[in-house]
Every structure is written in C-alpha cells, then in structure tokens.
Amino acid sequence: MARLSRKRTLGVLISGRGSNLKALLDACAEPDFPARIAVVLSNRAGAPGLEHAARVGVPTQVIDHRTYPDRDGFDAALDAALCGADVELVCLAGFMRLLTPGFCATWAGRMINIHPSLLPAFKGLNAQAQALAAGVRIAGCTVHYVRAETDGGPIVLQAAAPVLPADDEAALSARILALEHRLYPQAVRLIAEGRVKIDGGRCIIEGLPPPLGLA
C-alpha cells in the first residue's frame, strides 16, 4: 500500500480536560507524524482542553449544545465547523455528547473514538467501574471507528492493563489513561498512513504493530 505524502487533517472533539487531545497535539508536533490538527471543537466553553490547543496555536471553537433546540441542529453545526476546516478524520477525545445516526453516517469511516475498556466489553459510561464490578483480571482501552451504536464500530487498536487486587476506580482509570495517551496517536498514525482498511465489521491493518500493555 502506497504511503501518503501529505499530512492528514484532524478535527478533535472534546468536552473536558483534553488529556487525549494533548497526547495527539504532542504527536502532531513530531516532524514525521503524518497528521495535523486543523481544529478543536468543544461543546463546553470552560473545557480545560481548549487551553492545550490554544497554547500551540491550533484553532478552537465552542459549539454549545445548549443553544440548539435539538441534537440535529447541534450536529449540523459540528459538521459545518469540521467541513470548514477541511477535516478528513474526526477524533473524539472525551466528547460527552451522543451523536445522531445522521452525523455518524456522514462521517462513517472518517471518525474514531477512544474508550476505556477492551470493547465489546463494558460499553457506555463508567467502564472502569464496570470492569471492577465484573471482577475481570485484565482491562484496557480501545480505539474504534464510530457508528451509531454506542461504543460500537470496527476496532482499530487495543491496549491491555492489569487489574490489581488493590485497585479502585481511580487507580485503574489512571493506569488505563496512560495507555490511552500512547494508543490514540498510534492509531491515528496508522490511519493517516493509509494502513487501515475497514472490511465489514473489522479492520485490516497493514504492518500491525506489537500490542501495547500486557504481553
């Protein structure tokens, strides 16, 4: 598969602290990284993650969901902002809004998310607490393409983290988050280099890298 010579343009959607956004910004600052962030969008004006983008000169925009009468109107504003920035790949990074099926269909194959569990296990909110309640011995995180189904869509990459006997939700979350910061840029690199192909419900990856986390 031929490599792409230009950097792919990313749009990152956030709602809060933006730690995965920062990981992507740091990756994009590397000369050989095959993508750049064109815009960061937030549905919350006070989202701390906006400061990460502003600090390195990446354009930001707040699209407050509360100012729209319905989800369709809000998603239309998101779509307009992304298209206006010539975004090729949308990265959800702690974006705490459900997207409409129409928006998901528009960006199908061009939008990814990172979730703090080894999907398809523990979808939805509080995935780390779900893992602890289930008594699993291994947890982790997943980068996947977004479809209308919550935390569904073809899996790009996963990383595993041990669940230790003394873990509470905060401790497990911190261990998984450290993996997320490594996994998300790795997944974006693969996609930007044209090495990921969606085949039905799964991803086929050229030159799949060794897994992060547990051996």
Model pLDDT, residue 212:
84
> Is residue 94 domain-resident?
yes
Model confidence pLDDT, tens digit, residues 27-83: 999 999 999 999 999 999 999 999 999 999 999 999 999 999 999 999 999 999 999
> Is residue 3 domain-resident?
no
- The answer, yes or no, to whether the previous bond of 31 is cis (omega within 30 of 0) is no
> Is residue 2 domain-resident?
no
pTM: 0.94
Query: Is 2's pLDDT higher than 50?
Result: no
> Is residue 53 domain-resident?
yes
> Could you give the residue ranges of the DSSP H alpha helices within 167-206?
169-192
* Domain range for 21: 8-107
Q: 95 and 126 share a domain?
A: no
Q: What total of structural domains would you count in the chain?
A: 2
Which of 65, 81, 107 corresponds to the end of one domain? 107
Which of 107, 130, 146 corresponds to the end of one domain? 107
Q: 207 and 137 share a domain?
A: yes
- 182 exposed, middle or buried (CB, 10 Å; 0-12, 13-18, 19+)? middle
Query: Is 26's pLDDT higher than 60?
Result: yes
Q: 172 and 127 share a domain?
A: yes
Q: 120 and 34 share a domain?
A: no
Model confidence pLDDT, tens digit, residues 125-180: 999 999 999 999 999 999 999 999 999 999 999 999 999 999 999 999 999 999 99
> Is residue 1 domain-resident?
no
Q: CA–CA separation, 54 vs 49, rounded Å?
A: 9
Q: Which CATH number goes with the domain that contains 123?
A: 3.40.50.170
> Is residue 136 domain-resident?
yes
Q: 128 and 207 share a domain?
A: yes
Which amino acids are annotated catalytic? 115
Q: 103 and 119 share a domain?
A: no
Q: Cβ(50)–Cβ(76) under 8 Å? A: no
Q: 54 and 73 share a domain?
A: yes
Q: 103 and 127 share a domain?
A: no
**C-alpha of 192 from chain center:** 14
What are the tokens at 140? 């982790």
Q: How confident is the model at residue 215 (pLDDT cuts 50, 70, 90)?
A: very low
Model pLDDT, residue 3:
52
Model confidence pLDDT, tens digit, residues 68-125: 999 999 999 999 999 999 999 999 999 999 999 999 999 999 999 999 999 999 999 9
Which of 73, 91, 107 corresponds to the end of one domain? 107
Q: 72 and 118 share a domain?
A: no
Q: 118 and 93 share a domain?
A: no
